[in-house]
Structure 1
Amino acid sequence: MICRILVALTDLQKPFTIPSFLPLSQVYEVNLRQYTPEGSIQAFRKHLPRLQELGVDTCWFMPVHPIGIKNRKGSLGSYYCVRDYRDVNPEFGTLSDFKELVQDMHARGMKLVIDWVGNHAAWDNVWVDQHPEYFLTGTDGRFLSPYDWDDVIQFNHRNKGQQEAMLQAMAFWVCEMDIDGFRADFAHLVPNEFWAGARKKLEEIKPELIWLAEAEGDDIYQTFDINYGWAWMHFTERFIKEALPVAAFRDFIRSEFAEAGPLRYQLLFTCTHDENSNKGTEYERYGIYAQALAVCMYALPLSIPMIYGGQEIPNHKRLPFFDKDFMEWPERPALTGFYKALIRFRKQSFAGGEISFPEAPDGLLVFCRRHHTKEEIFAANFGRSTISTAINVPGSSGQYRDLFANNHVDLKEKMDIELPPGGYILLYR
C-alpha cells in the first residue's frame, strides 16, 4: 500500500484522545545492537515468546535506521545518527525482516514503537546532497551541529520541505511497516506545531498510535500522551546518593504525582540505554534499593513503567554506546518472576486514584492509593537498618493480597511491617 499525507501542520481542530489501552501499558525498551550476540532482528524475535509470557505489551525499539559513516563516533556509531529515515540498519536486517517482526508481535498482541530522531541527522544523510536547505548553516555556509554532538547536523525546522519530508518518512513506517507509535528523541527541540500536525495526519491513517516524548517541560503534553519522567529519575538518584530523608520522597510524590493533571502520564524507569552507558546500571546508581524503586514506580498514579531490556537478567554491566557488546541471557532470567508479578499487578490496577501517606518512622516510605473499591499499599525501607514497626493505615480494613509473598493479609487499619534495608511490600485489593 502506498501512503502519502497531504501536509497541513497547523490544521488542528480537535483535541487528541489518549489510546484506551495506554494507561495500564507496560513498555519494554529494546536495544537491538546489544540485545544478542548477533544484534539482529531475527535473533531478537527468538525472545518474543519469553517477553509475551512476561506480560510485555509494548516494545520501544531504539533507532533501527542506517547509521551515518561521516564523522561517526566509535566503530559502529550512534543509533541517533540517522542516514536514511526509510530504511533499516543492515547490521540489524532488512525491511522485510522488520515487517515480519511487526507481524509476529501483532500476532502475539504486542505493539511496536520506533524511536524517531526529528531534530538532527547524519552528516551523510540522504537528504544532505538532495536538499541541503533542510539543514541549518552558519554564516560561513557550513552545517551546524546541535550542542557538542559533532556526529550529526541540525535540521532547519522552518523549512516546510523538511517538515513534509519528515512527515512522509514517518508515514512510511505507519503505512508500510504497520508500526504502532513513536518515541520522539529530544522532542522539545522540534516545534510542537510539527508534532501536532504529524499526529493529526498519521492518526487519520491509524488511530490510537502511541506518542511517547523524551522532552523537558510540560508543553509537550499538548501533543504527546507520555513524557519521560525526568523528575523521577533525577530525584531518585539524588535521594539515594545523598541519603535524603524519606520526608523528601513523600514531598516529591505529592508534588509530582498526587497533584499532577489528569492526562500527565510519565514514563518511569530505573534504567535506560542512556543511563546504563553514561552513568551505570541501576545497581551502580541505586544499590540495594533498585528493586524497591522499581516496585514504587508501579504503585504510583499516572505512571507508565518501563523495563530496559536486560533488567530481568539482571544486567550488571555497562553497555558501550558506540561499539558492540551484548547481554548474556540465561535460560530463565533471575528476575522473571519479579517483573512478571509487577506486570500482572499492573494489568489489574488503576491509573489514577488518591494518595495518602500514613505516619511512619524515618527510612520507611509508606503510601496508600485508592480508587473506589480498589486500594494499593506500598512500603519500602530506604534506611540503613532493619525496620520493625506497626503502621496505622486509616480506612484500610479487610483482606489484601501480598504481591510478592503471594498470600492474603488481613488488615484492621493497622499494618505490621518488618523490612531489611531495601526491602519492600506491595498489598492490593
Structure 2
Amino acid sequence: MRMKMRNTILVLIALVVVLVLSSCSKSVEKARPAPSWVKDAAIYEVNIRQYTPEGTFNAFSEHLPRLQEMGVKILWIMPIQPIGDTNRKGSLGSYYSIKDYYAINSEFGTFDDFRSLVNEAHKLGMYVIIDWVANHSAFDCSLAKEHPEWYKHAPDGSFISPYDWTDVIAFDYSNPQLRKYMTEAMKWWLKETSIDGFRCDVAGLIPVDFWENTRKALDSIKPVFMLAEADTSALMFNAFNAGYNWRLLDKMVQLRQGKINAYQLLSFIEDYPNDYPQGSFKMNFTSNHDINSWTGTEQELFGDAALTMAVITATVPGMPLIYSGQEEPAAKRLKFFDKDTIHFAQYSNHDFYRSLFELKKRNSALWHGEDHDRIIPVLSSDSTHAMVFLRQHKNNKVLIVLNLSDRPLTLSIPDKKAEGKYNEIFLNVMVNISPSEPLELEPWGFRVFEKL
C-alpha cells in the first residue's frame, strides 16, 4: 500500500513538473516584426510647409545630406495630400484635413517632385514614411458626396466632426467598402512612390482589425514600418511596430516642474517596456508638431534641461524622434494653419544629435524592439537628483549618468556592474568608473559612456 501510494505521489509530481515546464516553454506573445533597418534608427518629423521659405519637396531635399550626416535614418513626412477648403482653418488649413487621398498638395510640388525626394533619401541610406489620416476627411472630400454612408452621422443626418476639429468629418469603419478603399489607397502610395511605411494619425480611434488586415496587405508588397499615434498595446501585436511614448514626455515635464524626482522617473522607465508585446517599442520625444504648436517649444517645457531630456529619449528603450528645427534648436511655436518658416542658421544642436544617433547605431545595447530593450538601474550616491542606468547586450555596454536637478552634483557610483573603462562620447575621453572616482556634473548635466 505504501509502495502504491509512493508511486502515485511520484506520478503526480512528474505530472506537475511536466505542466510547469510546458507552461514555461510557451513563447511570449510577440509583435509582428519590423523591417531589419528599423532597430537602430532615429526618426525625424518633416514639416514641409514650414521647413523652407519655398515650402516645397525640392527645397527640403537640399537638406537631406545634412540630416543623413546628423544620423537621421527615417524621415516621417507630415500629410502631403491636398487640404480641404470648406471650414478651412487659417489661410492654408490643417495638413490633417484631407481632400483627396490619391493626390499631392500642389503647394508642396508634384508627384515627380515627391518621388525624387524619396529616391534621394534612399540613395543616402534613409527611409521615408508618410502621415496617413484614416479617421476623417475634409468636408469637401469627394467621398462625402459619392459615399456619404462611409461617414458617421448625427441623429439629424449631419456629418460628425470629432472633438473640436470643425474642419473635418469622421469616417464610419463599420462600412466594409470604406475599409477596402482606405487599404487600397495606402497600397497605391506604397507601390507608386516607393515609400517605406506610414505614421497613422489618431490610430486608436479606428478598429484594430482594420489596421491588422491593412498591415498584412502592405507587407505583401514589401515590409513596412508602421507608427501609430497611439499608446495602446492592442495595436502593437499585428498592426504597428511602434507607438507614442506620451507618458515619458509627461514624466519628464513633471520632473522639470519638481513634481517627481529622478528615482521616480527611473522607476517609470524601468517599467514601461512591459506595456507592449516583445518586438514592438515606443517612440520617445521632447517635441513634435502637436507639442510645438499647441503646448510649447522644448525651451518652454524644459528650459536649460532640454538637451538632458533629449539624452533620455535617445538612450532609454524606444526610438528617438526629433521634430523639424530641433537641431537649431526650435525657438518658436510654429503656426499650424498658416505659413511660418523655420529659421535655420547655426544648427547648434547638430553635433549633439549626431553623437547620440551614431552611438545608437554602434551599440546593440541601445537597439529597440529587441528582447534586451530595457534599462539596468545603477546604484549611485544620490538617487533623488541623479539618474544612472546601463544599457547592455551581451558584452556591449552603455552607461548613462544624468543630473536631474538645478544644482551641481558630485556623484559616486559604488555599483560593481558599472565599473570599468569607458569612452565619454561628448568629450571623446577615456574615463574609469569606480567607487573611488566620483563624477562631477553641472546642473542638468549629462555624461554618456561607451564601454571600451
> Does 2:357 correspond to 1:343?
yes
Distance 2:227 2:134 in 1: 13
- Asked whether the 8 Å contact 1:246–1:365 carries over to 2, the reply is yes
Corresponding residue to 2:119 among 85, 103, 111? 103
Whether the 8 Å CA contact 1:76–1:322 is kept in 2: the answer is yes
Find 2:419's aligned residue among 397, 400, 408: 397
| Superposed displacement of residue 104, structure 1 | 1.1
SS in 2 for 1:68: coil
Contact 1:66–1:84 (Cα < 8 Å) also in 2 = yes
1:269-288 alignment, distance < 5 Å: 269-288=285-304
- The match for 2:177 among 158, 161, 178 is 161
| Correspondence 1:420 to 2:434 | no
Matched, 1:356 2:370: no
| Contact 2:284–2:321 (CA under 8 A) maintained in structure 1 | yes
Distance in 2 (CA, whole Å) between partners of 1:59 and 1:369 is 26
The aligned counterpart of 2:138 is 122
Matched, 1:143 2:159: yes
CA displacement, residues 56-86 of structure 1 (integer Å, 9 cap, x when unaligned): 1110001011000000111111110000111
| Contact 1:356/1:369, CA 8 A, preserved across alignment | no
More helix by share: 2
- Helix, strand or coil for the counterpart of 1:88? coil
2:313 counterpart of 1:297 = yes
Q: Secondary structure at the match of 2:416?
A: strand
Runs of 4+ in 1 over 6 A off after TM superposition: none
What is the match of residue 10 of structure 1? none
Q: 1:367 aligns with which of 381, 386, 389?
A: 389
CA contact (8 A) 1:181 1:210 kept: yes
Q: Which moved more, 1:375-384 or 1:250-259?
A: 250-259
RMSD between aligned residues: 1.6
1:392–1:415: 8 Å Cα contact kept in structure 2? no
Deviations 1:130-159 (A, max 9, x none): 111111112211111111211100001011
Secondary structure in 2 matching 1:121: strand
Shift of 1:412: 3.5
**Offset of 1:354 from its aligned partner?**
5.0
Q: Distance in 2 between matches of 1:15 and 1:382?
A: 34
In the aligned structure 1, how far is the partner of 2:381 from the partner of 2:277? 27
SS at match of 1:33: helix
Secondary structure in structure 2 of the residue aligned to 1:325: coil
- 3-state SS, counterpart of residue 43 of structure 1: helix
In the alignment, structure 1 residue 212 sits paired with structure 2 residue 227 = yes
- Once the two structures are TM-superposed, the CA of residue 262 in structure 1 deviates from its matched residue by 2.7
1:254 maps to which residue? 270
Counterpart Cα distance in 2 of 1:175 and 1:261: 29
The Cα shift of 1:397 comes to 3.0
Tell me which residue corresponds to 2:59. 43
CA offsets, 1:313-351, max 9 Å, x none?
111111011111011112x51111101111110101222
Q: Does the 8 A contact of 1:78 with 1:321 survive in 2?
A: yes
Match of 2:244 in 1: 228
- Work out the CA distance in 2 between the residues paired with 1:408 and 1:373: 18
Kindly state the Cα deviation for residue 398 of structure 1 after the two structures are TM-superposed.
Answer: 2.7
**Cα 1:19–1:414 shift into 2, 3 Å:** farther
Q: Deviations over 1:237-293 (max 9, x none)?
A: 122123422221122112214786532311001110100001111110011111111
Q: Counterparts of 2:181 and 2:407 in 1: how far apart (Å)?
A: 58
Distance 2:200 2:437 in 1: 43
In 1, the alpha carbon distance for the partners of 2:229 and 2:280 equals 14
Q: Which secondary structure state, in structure 1, belongs to the residue aligned with residue 449 of structure 2? A: strand
For 1:167 and 1:244, how far apart are their aligned partners in 2?
A: 44
Compared CA separation, residues 217 and 65, structure 1 to 2 (3 A): same
Amino acid at match of 1:150: T
| Distance change >3 Å, CA 76–CA 220, structure 1 → 2 | same
The more displaced of 412-421 and 42-51 is 412-421
Figure out how many residues of one structure are paired with residues of the other and give that number.
413
Q: Deviations over 1:83-107 (max 9, x none)?
A: 0111111110111111111111111
Structure 1 vs Structure 2: percent identity of aligned residues?
38
Unaligned runs of 5+ in 1: 1-13
Separation in structure 2 between the aligned mates of residue 271 and residue 117 of structure 1, nearest angstrom: 20
In structure 2, give the amino acid aligned to 1:268: N
Give the TM-score taking structure 2 as reference length. 0.88
Cα 1:109–1:151 shift into 2, 3 Å: same
Contact 1:393 1:414 in 2 (8 A): no
Alignment CA distance shift 1:164-1:64 (3 Å): same
Q: Give me the whole-angstrom Cα distance separating, in 2, the residues matched to 1:371 and 1:102.
A: 34
Amino acid at match of 1:357: V
Task: Tell me whether 1:333 sits opposite 2:331 in the alignment.
Answer: no
- In the TM superposition, residue 395 of structure 1 has moved relative to its aligned partner by 2.1
- Cα distance in 2 for partners of 1:62, 1:239 equals 30
Change (3 A) 1:168 1:248: same
Residue of structure 2 in register with 1:406 after alignment: 428
The one-character-per-residue Cα deviations of 1:9-62 (angstroms, maximum 9, x if unpaired) are xxxxx9732211212111000001111111111110110111111121110001
In structure 2, the CA distance between the partners of 1:353 and 1:153, relative to structure 1 (3 Å rule), is closer
The answer to whether structure 1 residue 323 and structure 2 residue 338 are counterparts is yes
Structure 1 residue 411: deviation in Å? 2.6
Distance 2:108 2:276 in 1: 40
Letter aligned with residue 26 of structure 1: A
User: Quick check: which has more Rg, 1 or 2?
Assistant: 2
Match of 1:29 among 41, 45, 48: 45
Deviations 1:106-142 (A, max 9, x none): 1111100000011001000121111111111122111
